[in-house]
Structure 1
Amino acid sequence: MKTFVTTGCAQFGHAEFTLTFRKDPPVPGLENTLLGYFEASVSAGKRFKAGETVQLGWATLRLTQRTDGTLGVLEPDLAHELKWVEGVDQSLVETWRQKEVLSSLGLLECADFPRQALHAVVCTQAFDTPSKMLGRTDAHGQTDSGWFVGCFDDDHDHQREDALTVMPLVEIATRAPLLTQFFALPAGTDLVIAPGGIQVFIDGEAREPRSGSYLEALAHPR
C-alpha cells in the first residue's frame, strides 16, 4: 500500500487529502492529476467534506474522514455492488487509459466521459464471443450513455428485442474490462475489437492511432 498527501490545502484552512494506492502506481506520477485537482480547487475557494462525491473522468469517488485528520478518497469496488473501498488505483488507471486512447486518436478535446451508472444496449451474446463491435450515438435520455456492444454472429439478429439487453457501464467494465478504456470516445465512434487487433472508425471513416501511441501498441500487437 502506498499513500500520497496534498500539501497545499492547510494554508487555506482546509484539511489535506490522502490518496491510497493498494499497489504501487503503474504509471509514474499518476497521483498528480487528483492531488492537483484538490489543491487547485481548495485554493480557488471550494470546500470539500466527508460524504460528498467527486467525479474523475467516468469514475465517481467519495470522500471520507480519516483518523489522521485528512480526507481520504474511496472508489467503488466494481466486483461488489454498492461497496466502497479506500483507494484510487482503479479509477485513476481507467481514466489514464481513457485519456491515452483519446490522445492516440487526436480526440482528447472531444472527450465525453460517461458516468459509471449510465446504461448501454448490449447484445446477449457479447460476452461469449472473442470479437466485439462497439458503437456510440447521441444519448437517448438521462440514463443512456449512447453505447452499444454487440457480437459478429450473423445468426444473431440485433434488431430483435430478445437479442438485446440494457446494463450499466460499470457492469460491462466488470465483465469485459478491456472495453472500459474506450468509453470516453465521442458519439460517432465505431470499434471492432478482435483477437487480431482493434479498428476505430469516427463518423464512418477509419482512424489510425498515432504512431508510437498507447492505442497503436494495443491495436497492433506484435
Structure 2
Amino acid sequence: MSILADMKSNLGTPFQHPDIVVSMPSGPEFGAKPILSYFEDAVRQGTVFKAGETVQMGWMILMLKATGSGELDVWEPRFGEVPIVWERGASRTYRQLIVQKSVAEQLGVEPSFPSLTQSAVVSPKFAASKNFQMSRESPQGSDSGWLFATEASESGDGRLASLFEIASKRPEIIPFLALPAASSVVLKDGQVKISYGEKEVGSDSNELLRRLPASDLIG
C-alpha cells in the first residue's frame, strides 16, 4: 500500500486565496509539484478556485473539496464506476497526463486532450473484444471525435458513450486518447500500432508502446 504525502500551495498570504492540497503516493517528485504549479499560476493570473468546482487537467477532471481548515483538497475520478466516484489525490491524473503526452511525442505531434465527459462512438462488441481499433475525427463540441470498433468493416451499429465509461471498461485506450484528429490505433494479438498521416509507430520497435499494457502506467 502506498504512503500518501500531502503537498500544499502557498497562496494564502500573497493572494488571499485558500491553499490547495494535492495528495500523492511519492511526494513532489511524483507529480504534485506540477499540479500545484498549474493552480498557483492560474491564481496569479486572477483565477479564484472554489469548493465544488471541477478543473480539467489533460483529459482528466479534478474536483476541489473544502477541508475543515479552509483549504481546497484535490480529488480525482476512480475508474470502473459510472457515474464518477471521487477519491482524494491526483496520482492517476498525473500518470495519464505524462503517458498521453509521451505517446503523442512518438509521432512528433502535440497532444489534443479530450475530456473524459465527452462522447465517442463505440461498437457493441468493443468491451469484450481481444483486438480493437480506434480512430479520431475532428472533435466537435461534446463529441471527442473518437470511434472505437473491433474490425475495420464494423460500422453502423455503434452507440454514444462517454470516454470515461469506455475507458473504465477498456483502460488500454487511455494512453492514446490525446492523439489528434486523423490518428488511428490498432491493437492486434498484443501488438500496438499507432499512425498519423504518413507517420507510424509500433510496439515491435518502440519501448514505450511495448510497456503500455503495464497497469502502473495508466491505473
Calculate the TM-score normalised by the size of structure 2.
Answer: 0.84
Cα distance in 2, alignment partners of residues 29 and 19 from structure 1: 11
Identity of aligned residues (%): 28
- Does structure 1 residue 88 correspond to structure 2 residue 90? yes
Query: 2:50 — aligned with what?
Result: 49
Instruction: Tell whether the 8 Å contact from 1:9 to 1:39 is kept in structure 2 after alignment.
Output: no
Instruction: Show the counterpart of 2:188.
Output: 194
Show structure 1 runs of 5+ residues with no match.
Answer: none
**Structure 1 residues 73-82 or 53-62, which shifts more?**
73-82
Give RMSD over aligned pairs: 2.5
- Change in 2 beyond 3 A, CA 1:165/1:37: same
Contact 2:131/2:188 (<8 A) preserved: yes
Pair 124,212 (structure 1): closer, same or farther in 2 beyond 3 Å: closer
Match of residue 123 from structure 2: 123
Aligned match of 2:167? 173
1:4 equivalent in alignment to 2:7: yes
5 Å matches for 1:24-63? 24=26, 28-63=29-64
Offset from partner CA, 1:39-86 (integer Å, 9 cap, x none): 112222222111212110111111111123321112222333142222
Question: In structure 1, the residue corresponding to 2:130 is in which secondary structure?
Answer: coil
**Residue type matched to 1:101 in 2?**
V
The SS at the match of 1:4 is: strand
Partner of 1:100: 102
Question: Which residue type is aligned with residue 133 of structure 2?
Answer: M
Residue type at the aligned position of 1:158: E
**Other structure's SS at 2:165 match:** helix
**Cα pair distance change 1:9/1:44, threshold 3 Å:** farther
AA aligned to 2:57 is L
In 2, distance between residues paired with 1:9 and 1:194? 52
1:151 pairs with 2:150: yes
Partner residue of 2:200 out of 176, 199, 207: 207
Tell me the distance in 2 between the aligned counterparts of 1:213 and 1:104: 10
Q: 1:8 Cα deviation (Å)?
A: 4.8
- Residue aligning to 1:135: 135
Structure 1 contact 199–206 (Cα < 8 Å) conserved: no
Deviations 1:174-205 (A, max 9, x none): 111111111110000011112342111112x2
Q: Which stretch of structure 1 is more off in the superposition, 30-39 or 181-190? A: 30-39
Q: Which amino acid aligns with 1:106?
A: G
Give the partner amino acid of 2:39. F
2-structure distance, mates of 1:217, 1:179: 14
- SS at 2:201's partner residue? coil
Paired residue secondary structure (1:50): coil
Q: Which amino acid aligns with 1:149?
A: F
